[in-house]
Each structure stands twice: as structure tokens, then as C-alpha cells.
Amino acid sequence: MCGASLLDELTEVSEGVGQFLEGFALARLAPGEEFTEHCLYPLRDIGLRARPYLFGVGCRFGRHSPSDFTGVAAGLEFMQAATLTLDDLMDAAAIRNGLPAVHAKWGMSEAILVAEVLKSLGASAIIETLAGTGQEAILPELLELYEQTYREACAGQHLDLSFEERDHVTEAECFRMVSRTTGRFVQASLVAGALVSGVEGRVMDALGAYGEHLGVAYQLRDDIIDVLGEPELTGKPWATDLKTKKKRLPLLRMLSLCTPDEGAECRALLASTVDEEAANRLRELIVSTGSMESCMQETRRLCAQATAVLAPFPDSLPKQRLLELAELLCSFES
């Protein structure tokens, strides 16, 4: 990848991992069966795969090439596909990346089965990739990271769902939920890459801290874009979070900044079905109260925290890529 840009590298990794995912799944599922096609469906056409790319960056901080461990990166992507399949089901989200979600095409029970198989394939990909490489000694630690990440994602999803039933959610609770979901996935990708490549402890810790900050910033950016209404960037209809009454930071911060009358209006809107008109009004309040700009500043703060942990380390291409990712994430220019 010498001389390649960040986007070039992301595209190359995405294509390579995408091919691996489908090939690995096809080799382990019954060919030609309807269920096999259902399992392949969430693995296709999902755009750039940031987590496998971050795995590769973490790997490049050590002594091995990411190409030697594509299966480990794919294992994490299998798990991500599994959790997104379940998230769509629990959130009643009919669209994922511009296409019908698994449960919308084949029903709730099928979505659960697909998610279970995808998670199983992820563990198999990690085990089979390390077999016979001399790296088997790190397998227990890597699998524990895999399972811990999944457990944290489930706990975070529980929090997210519980917020929908509550009238009051604090910003601290919101950040905790995001840290356990998106934050943990981004963190695990970098740490897994560093682990298989023999990265020393202090660098591993820095990559973990960077990953958590960047992951939270990534989710906050996604929440902002959802409110702004850019389906071409999110792959789903606009204001999905508002319409499903998700207690995300743009809404929570608006409630802390608005006037008492605006707060009463907002609570009244959330007390009934949030249709297009209600979602538009909530968006107006989020923008007019300064919540949107405040959330953008919060994203920039998180990205600055992420890059700050890398400051003690010498300049290198993987460090440069992490700095570029953070800069890209906190830019909201059209």
C-alpha cells in the first residue's frame, strides 16, 4: 500500500475482507440452501469496513503484516454483522445500508438464527487463522477479547433499549452506553490487531484508549447525521433515532439547553408517535437551542482526546493514519 491514500487503503481492505467473509461462510454452510443465502445477505454491500481497517492499523504497529491475519479481522466483522442484525430487529429498523434489514425480509426468528451463525463464524475465523502459525498461545486472550466485546455490546444494547422507556436519561448514561457498543467495537479492532502483531504493552494501552475515544466520537457523529437527515451517509431513513425516541446526545443536550416551554413541547412530542412533522420540530429545537453545534464540538473534543494519547510515540505511517481518521471524523464541512 505504499503511496496509497487513506481512502485507497480503506477500499482495498474492505474489498479483501468482504471477499474473505463470503468465501469463508460459503465453505462452512450448506451450499445452495436458502438459509445460507440469508446468512450471506448481511455481509454484502455495506460500504467501507472501518473495523477491519483499524485492525490492520493496529497490526502495523507491531512486527507482522495485516495480510497474515485477514481471518481475525474478518472474525470481528462477522460479529459486527451479527450485532447489527439483532440491533435492527430490536429497534424495529427496516432499513440497513439502504437495503431491507434481515428481519424485514425474512422475519424475527430468521434474523436471530442468522445472527447466531454469523457470530459462530467469527469465532471460527479467528481460530482457524491462528492455527499452525505459531501464534496459538495468544488464542485464549484473543477469543476472550472477542467474547467480552460481544457481551459489552449486548449490555450496551440493553441500556439503549431501556432508555426508550425512561423519561429522564443523563448524558453520562448515554456516553456509557455508547462506550460499551460502538466504542468497544472500535477499541477491540485496534487491540486485536496489536495483539496478534506482538505490540508492547504501553502502545497497546494507547491504542485501546484511542479506539474507545474514536468509537464514541464515531457514534456521536452518526447520531448528528441522523438528525441532519442524510440517508446517503447513514444508509437508513432520516431521523430514525428521533422517530424511535432514542435518547441520544443531540436530544438529551437539547433538553438541557431549551427553555421550560420548549422542554414541555418536546416531552409532549415524545409522549406520542413521532411522525415526520414531530421529527422536524424536534430537529428544529436541536438546531435552534445550540445542541447540534454543541454535539459537533463534543465530537471534536473526543477526537482530540484520541489523538492526544498517540503524541508520545514516534511518527509512523500507522500513527499518521489514526491521526487522519480522527481529523476526518470531526470534520462536519459539507
3-state DSSP of 245-274: CCCCHHHHHHHHHCCHHHHHHHHHHHCCCC
pLDDT for 233:
62
Segment 276-304 mean pLDDT: 96
In terms of residue numbers, what domain contains 300? 6-329
- Across 141-159, average pLDDT: 96
Spatial separation of the C-alpha atoms in residues 198 and 38, rounded to whole Å: 37
As for how many domains the chain has, the answer is 1
Is 241 a domain residue? yes
Radius of gyration of the chain measured on its C-alpha atoms: 20
- Residue 319 resides in a domain: yes
Q: Is residue 258 part of a domain?
A: yes
One-character DSSP codes across 62-118? TTS-GGGGHHHHHHHHHHHHHHHHHHHHHHT--EETTEE-HHHHH-HHHHHHHHHHH
Q: How far apart are CA 205 and CA 215, in angstroms?
A: 15
In a domain, 81, yes or no: yes
Higher pLDDT, 166 or 326: 326
The mean pLDDT of 155-165, rounded to a whole number, is: 93
For residue 144, count other CB atoms closer than 10 A to its CB.
10
Q: At 250, which CATH number?
A: 1.10.600.10
Q: What's the pLDDT score for residue 322? A: 97
Q: Are the beta carbons of 83 and 115 closer than 8 angstroms? A: yes
Predicted pLDDT at 232? 67
Q: In this structure, which amino acid lies at residue 19?
A: Q
Residue 187 corresponds to which cell in the numbers above? 477499541
Residue 102, pLDDT score:
97
Q: What's the confidence (pLDDT) of residue 7?
A: 87
For residue 2, is pLDDT > 60? no
Q: How confident is the model at residue 260 (pLDDT cuts 50, 70, 90)?
A: very high
Averaged confidence pLDDT in the chain: 92
DSSP code of residue 181: I
In a domain, 334, yes or no: no
Residue 240 in domain: yes
pLDDT at residue 48 is higher than 80: no
Residue 151: predicted pLDDT: 97
Q: What percent of the chain has pLDDT over 70?
A: 96
Residue 33 in any domain: the answer is yes
pTM score: 0.92
